[in-house]
């Protein structure tokens, strides 16, 4: 096998499956594990692939994602190589594709065991959110937030949080607020993600003025959006983050 991964979280999953020799190419955003990022051939960014580099690696399987990669790139690659296109918007989607990848890379037993571990850990934590509402910010100027029909929404909902945003996918904050009946209606939490926009505490002030009743927290974007082996760490991370 000669595998190229175009999805950072799934690159980390392939590493967890022990595919050191089989993975020959990754993107510049596949930063985990660090050793692979330093040593593996990089084939460009998730949305700006270097097709000539991919060709030189002679892949037998390319792992891609409907949201991470462009339709044009995937269609072109699929005309030349075997492509496994993942589409992950729910926890069940994540579990399905992790097991499907396991089958395709001849690591079915390991993938099934990892998924079972994740499900156990998720069940042990339970609904820590207790019905608290949230807005999850992914971008600034303008602000964009996470809506339903996304993996992040599914993950937080599983742990008992309720999305203040009812507009699917990734709408602008202004559009979300315009649909609320009262300007004083605020979510319990504002989650400012570390990626793709790197929010920091200095960004609290402007948002706190707009949402004075909301508690603002910086949140690890990898923990919330990286489906794969990273999911094993999520319950412990949430338990610590919301210990207060």
Q: In angstroms, rounded to a whole number, what is the distance separating the alpha carbons of residues 3 and 93?
A: 21
How deeply is 179 buried, as exposed, middle or buried, from its count of CB atoms within 10 A (0-12, 13-18, 19+)? exposed
Mean pLDDT (whole number) for 12-32 = 97
What confidence score (pLDDT) does residue 178 get?
A: 87
pLDDT of residue 241: 94
**CA–CA dist 16, 25 (Å, integer):** 16
CATH fold, domain 133-241, is: Rossmann fold (3.40.50)
pLDDT digits (tens, 9 = 90+) for 139-192: 999 999 999 999 999 999 999 999 999 999 999 999 998 887 666 689 999 999
Can you give the length of the chain in residues?
Answer: 244
Can you give the pLDDT at residue 183?
Answer: 60
For the chain, give every domain's residue range. 3-123, 133-241
Give tens-digit pLDDT for 135-149: 999 999 999 999 999
Distances (CA, A) of 69 to 65, 74, 117, 133, 140: 6, 7, 28, 31, 22
d(CA 88, CA 5): 15
Q: What is the mean pLDDT of the chain?
A: 95
Question: What pLDDT sits at residue 169?
Answer: 93
Note the pLDDT of residue 185. 81
pLDDT of residue 122: 96
Q: How far apart are CA 208 and CA 190, in angstroms?
A: 9
- Judged against a pLDDT cut of 70, whether residue 119 lies above it is answered with yes
- Topology alike, domains 3-123 and 133-241: yes
Residue 105 near residue 22 (C-beta atoms within 8 A): yes
Quick check: helix, strand or coil at residue 2?
A: coil
DSSP per-residue string spanning 85-100: EE--SSHHHHHHHHHH
Q: Tell me the per-residue pLDDT of 68-98, one tens digit each, with 9 for 90 and over.
A: 999 999 999 999 999 999 999 999 999 999 9
Domain at 3-123: CATH code? 3.40.50.1980
- What pLDDT was estimated at residue 180? 76
For 178-237, write each residue's pLDDT tens digit: 887 666 689 999 999 999 999 999 999 999 999 999 999 999 999 999 999 999 999 999
Report the C-alpha gap between 208 and 23 in whole angstroms.
45
Q: Alpha-carbon distance 146 to 60, whole Å?
A: 35
């Amino acid at each position: 096998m000669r595998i190229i991964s175009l999805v950072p979280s799934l690159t980390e999953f392939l590493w967890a499956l022990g595919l050191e020799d089989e993975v020959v190419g990754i993107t510049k955003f596949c930063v985990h594990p660090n050793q692979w990022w330093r040593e593996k051939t990089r084939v460009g960014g998730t949305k700006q692939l270097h097709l000539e580099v991919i060709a030189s690696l002679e892949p037998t399987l390319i792992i891609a994602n409907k949201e991470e990669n462009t339709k044009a790139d995937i269609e072109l690659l699929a005309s030349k190589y075997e492509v496994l296109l993942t589409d992950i918007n729910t926890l069940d989607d994540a579990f399905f594709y992790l097991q499907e990848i396991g089958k395709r890379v001849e690591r079915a037993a390991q993938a099934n065991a990892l998924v079972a571990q994740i499900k156990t850990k998720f069940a042990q934590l339970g609904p820590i959110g207790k019905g608290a509402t949230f807005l999850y910010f992914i971008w600034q100027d303008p602000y964009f937030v996470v809506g339903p029909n996304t993996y992040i929404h599914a993950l937080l909902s599983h742990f008992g949080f309720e999305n203040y945003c009812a507009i699917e996918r990734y709408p602008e904050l202004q559009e979300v607020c315009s649909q609320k009946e009262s300007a004083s209606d605020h979510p319990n939490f504002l989650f400012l993600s570390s990626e793709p926009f790197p929010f920091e505490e200095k960004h609290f002030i402007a948002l706190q003025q707009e949402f004075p009743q909301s508690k603002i927290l910086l949140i690890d974007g990898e923990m919330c959006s990286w489906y794969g082996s990273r999911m094993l760490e999520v319950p412990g991370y949430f338990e610590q983050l919301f210990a207060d």
